[in-house]
Amino acid sequence: MTADDLPAAQKLSTSVLWPHRLQDWQFVLELGAGIVAEDESGLVGTAMCWVHGSDYASLGMIIVAPARQGQGIGRELVDRMLREHGHRTLLLHATLEGVPICKRLGFVQTGTVHQHQGTVYQAPFIPLGEGERIRPVSSLDDAALADLASRASGFPRGTVLKHLLNVANCVAIDLYDGLIGFAALRRYGLGYVIGPVVAPDIHRAKALIAHWAGSYAGSFVRVDVPGEHQLSPWLTDMGMLQVDKTVPVMVRGEPSRPDPAITQYALLNQAFG
């Protein structure tokens, strides 16, 4: 996959009702690498991979044109990715229809993701503890943000965070000059997306999400949250409805071991995790 493929890739994602803009495709390609499938009509399939250090990688943007689905193209794209990256632990957010194929390829389901989106007109006020405040981050915070993100996911996230901060706004919870959580917001698809959200507990995660939802009140906002963190009822009450089927989280290899003291409550996106 090259930059020249991205206009066709964007049209392909639109054909399966994914909201990615050309700029969203450019962002994911800057961070990773991909392959495409073509026939006489043009581009009919895509798959991408993002490497996290020496031991982990994420697979995503696996799309096959509706007219060519069921013909083995998706399986071939994933097979090629496995041949190149199969020595790593692989993370994949699958479609429900793709789960059987993933299981045959050695993936196991470890969780779910819920996609929420909508327009929030009034975000709740979530008070913080003594000495805590939400503030914008600066370049001086880069190392602390990378550390929090890496601990929350269980694998290196410094490269992803560096690129994200070039295109996103980010705030952090500061406690006596040390960061204990953060949340990013960027343009994406039909509006904006909040994520990742990293915090020591669900209360502070809600405070970070509410900060961005309130700052962009009246705008279309999306957030993708792991099912086990039980944020869906609160997001729904705030006006961000769950709009998609539950997304299975699939892992091939030894799962990562996040630091139990810090949690990722919302994904950067479903491709990276």
Q: Is residue 149 part of a domain?
A: yes
Residues 109 and 157 both lie in one domain: no
From 64, 83, 113, the end of a domain falls on: 113
pLDDT over 80 (residue 244): no
Residues 101 and 128 both lie in one domain: no
pLDDT recorded at residue 97: 78
CATH number assigned to the domain comprising residue 125:
3.40.630.90
**Considering only CA atoms, which of 24, 27, 29, 32 is closest in space to residue 50?**
32
Q: Is residue 31 part of a domain?
A: yes
In this prediction the pTM is: 0.93
pLDDT over 80 (residue 177): no
First-to-final CA distance of the chain: 21
pLDDT recorded at residue 130: 93
CATH number assigned to the domain comprising residue 63:
3.40.630.30
Residues 66 and 125 both lie in one domain: no
**Considering only CA atoms, which of 130, 132, 128, 126 is closest in space to residue 234?**
126
Residues 126 and 105 both lie in one domain: no
| pLDDT tens digit sequence for 179-203 | 999 999 999 999 999 999 999 999 9
Report which secondary-structure segment, H or E, holds 177: none
Instruction: Judge contact between 120 and 238, C-beta under 8 A.
Output: yes
From 90, 113, 136, the end of a domain falls on: 113
Q: Is residue 250 part of a domain?
A: no
The range of the structural domain enclosing residue 238 comes to 116-244+255-266
From 82, 97, 113, the end of a domain falls on: 113
| pLDDT tens digit sequence for 44-67 | 999 999 999 999 999 999 999 999
What lies within 8 Å, CB to CB, of 50 at 6+ separation is: 28, 31, 32, 57, 58, 60, 160, 271, 272
Residues 236 and 139 both lie in one domain: yes
